[in-house]
Amino acid sequence: MTTLQKIALGYAGALTFAALLNYIPGVRDENGLCLGLFALDWFDDALHIGSALWALGAALWSHRAARFFLIVFGALYLGDGIFGFFTGFGYLDAGIFIYGNYGMSFTLGRVLLNLPHIALGGFALWAGLRLARA
């Protein structure tokens, strides 16, 4: 198994954890917010599980499939996180289409909401583009 396949396998685990986060006792507050910051609904769970299955399949299939996953997933999730700073909602969960544009903000809450997608997407894109050359 190549480095990129191992990274994709790690993403399968991380994305599965993200989907399960909503169901871990004590993670949601009395308002239904995970970690007091955001709400995850069935569509978010489906997005995370679908991405996890894609990552797992790519990791098990081949180096080339893992690289493709990391580049495409990375670009989509990085873009979603950056988009979240400008609008308040991402496009992957259709939040921008459902809730509209809240405008750009760099408050701590907005940073914490978008940082996971920026970090996961940025690292995946970097790995897919740079580590494949190594």
**What is this structure's pTM?**
0.86
pLDDT (tens digit, 9 = 90+) per residue, 73-90?
Answer: 999 999 998 888 888 777
CB 27: neighbour CB atoms within 10 A? 14
> How high is the pLDDT of residue 119?
95
Contact 15, 47 (CB under 8 A): no
Q: Domain span at residue 40? A: 3-133
Q: What is the pLDDT of residues 36-70, one digit of tens each?
A: 666 677 788 888 999 999 999 999 999 999 999 99
Furthest-apart CA atoms within the chain: distance in Å: 48
Contact 99, 89 (CB under 8 A): yes
- Number of independent structural domains in the chain: 1
pLDDT at 27 over 60: yes
Please check the confidence at residue 134 and state whether its pLDDT lies above 60. no
Q: Identify the pLDDT of residue 36.
A: 67
Q: With 90 as the cut, is the pLDDT of residue 128 above it? A: yes
Q: Please write down the long-range contacts of 106-109, taking CB distance under 8 Å and 24 or more positions apart.
A: 109/37
pLDDT at 129 over 80: yes
The pLDDT mean for the chain works out to 86
